[in-house]
Structure 1
Amino acid sequence: MSVFADLVQRLADLLTPLFGATAAAAAIVLFTALVRLLVHPLSRAAARGQKARAELQPKIAELRKRHGKNPERLQRAIVELHTKEKVSPLAGCLPGLFQLPAFFLLYHLFSNTTIGGHANELLSHELFAAPLGDRWADALGTGGALGPAGLVYLALFLLVAAVAVFNYRRTKRMMAANPVAPVADGQAVPGMGAMGAMTKVMPFMSFLTLFTVAVVPLAAALYVVTSTTWSAIERAALYR
């Protein structure tokens, strides 16, 4: 982790002439952007995969008509179709999975008071009046919701809420354009029940970011906010 800490510190040193006391926060935003650039090819592949899955919907609907009374056979036929067309149902999960290590590195880096036996100097950095190692509860305890640190979190919450509403509307439109067709005769296909439940929950997933920003150190919250905003813009471009 000390290597990662050195990377963040070096980025902060490079950005100090431009951002002054908020250079470490700017370094985290820059680091997040670099991670997202590295993951972008996977995001593009996920977008292509989703478009390919949408194009398969007529064929899947035909399979449901043909095998609707045999859920096991229907499931095998759908899997065979995806394999034949080289479409992976899990491709959309890869960009998020590859970002998790970076998020947890930041979380642990700004949760530890020492690094390699030495004091963690990064904890002394701030985003305006909010220390990067503090959480929303700390801001509430020191100055209240409208105190200097509380206002920093309020701005982050407003940004996250705006992105969440944007994602919610976009997801609803995409789901309306590509609905999951029901199985004939009301019979369930193994695994389709879980998929249906996930489909109902998906539009609300972006709002969970508000909870994440509230409970993690501010440095990790900056990563989440930057990455979520990037995702919203990226998906709007890739899925248009």
Structure 2
Amino acid sequence: MFGFLDVPVEGAYHLIQALTGPLSTALAIVVFTLGVRLLLHPLARSAVRGERARAALMPEIGALREKHGGDRDRLAAEVTKLQQESGTSLFAGCLPLLLQLPFFTVMYRLFTTATIGGEPNSLLGATLFGTPLGAHGLAGSPLVFVVAAGLAVVAWFSVRWQDRHRDATAAVPGGKLLRLLPYGSVLATLVLPQAAGIYLLTTTAWSTAERALLRRGS
């Protein structure tokens, strides 16, 4: 299962092992995550431009809703036509999130697989605060509570920022659901390996800071 991930998992394994030399394994995971986010940063910038373009279209979309509100198919067709003519996309804002999934899956595999590349997975023995990074959920106590608390703080700042900038995020598809996703990551720490929790904490903190910086003045 997921055999197509064997090569990227093995590559990530050797990368984190190399980083673990000068760093701890937990810090190596943070560095790995930051590298992923730097790689995806151009997409985040593009997503913000797309959000601003969609926000500019909201008056026209509102007019279309008033005109075709009783005909959902016609309304959908007209909105799609408007977006095509303006060069905007409904899903551009979701790309940074979607493209993280393969990296998150690789991180999950790194700390749940006994052997990698035919050799015993030495990362499974890595610990932080005396807790194995491969421990799942409450078995990773007290580390799980440290990570969950960090994610809760980041989620609070993220939602608070979004509440202050509703006009800038109003055009994001599924915006109401997306704004609650950080709180979902808090619950995820109860079932994921602690290494995956560290990945989530790092990437959500990056997302919150990145969003605030890129949308300054919105």
TM range (shorter): 0.7 to 0.9
Aligned residue in 2 for 1:213: 189
Q: 1:232 to 1:199 in 2, by over 3 A?
A: closer
Q: What's the secondary structure of 2:188's corresponding residue?
A: helix
Q: What's the secondary structure of 2:180's corresponding residue?
A: helix
- Structure 1: which amino acid aligns with 2:161? R
Moved over 4 A (4+): 176-180
* 1:204 positional shift: 2.2
Q: Is the contact made by 1:172 and 1:203 (CA closer than 8 Å) also made in structure 2?
A: no
* 1:74 positional shift: 2.0
* 1:155 positional shift: 2.0
For the aligned residue pairs, the C-alpha RMSD in angstroms reads: 1.9
Aligned residue in 2 for 1:172: 163
Q: Which runs of 5+ in 1 are unaligned?
A: 16-22, 141-149, 181-194
Distance, in Å, in 2 between the alignment partners of 1:72 and 1:115 is: 50
Distance, in Å, in 1 between the alignment partners of 2:167 and 2:52 is: 14
Identical aligned residues as a percent: 40
Distance, in Å, in 2 between the alignment partners of 1:95 and 1:129 is: 33
Q: Is the contact made by 1:171 and 1:202 (CA closer than 8 Å) also made in structure 2?
A: no
Q: 1:200 to 1:3 in 2, by over 3 A?
A: closer
Comparing 65-74 with 5-14, greater Cα deviation is found at 65-74
Q: Is the contact made by 2:154 and 2:205 (CA closer than 8 Å) also made in structure 1?
A: yes
Q: What's the secondary structure of 1:214's corresponding residue?
A: coil
* 1:103 positional shift: 0.7
Distance, in Å, in 2 between the alignment partners of 1:69 and 1:154 is: 50
Q: Is the contact made by 1:136 and 1:215 (CA closer than 8 Å) also made in structure 2?
A: yes
Aligned residue in 2 for 1:72: 73
* 1:179 positional shift: 5.0
Q: 1:30 to 1:49 in 2, by over 3 A?
A: same
**Structure 1 segment 102-121 matched on structure 2, within 5 A:** 102-121=103-122
Number of residue equivalences? 207
Aligned residue in 1 for 2:202: 226
Residue deviations 1:56-115 (CA, integer Å, cap 9, x gap)? 111112222333343322221111110000000100111011111111111011101222
- Structure 2: which amino acid aligns with 1:4? A
* 1:176 positional shift: 5.7
Distance, in Å, in 1 between the alignment partners of 2:139 and 2:54 is: 45
* 1:200 positional shift: 4.0
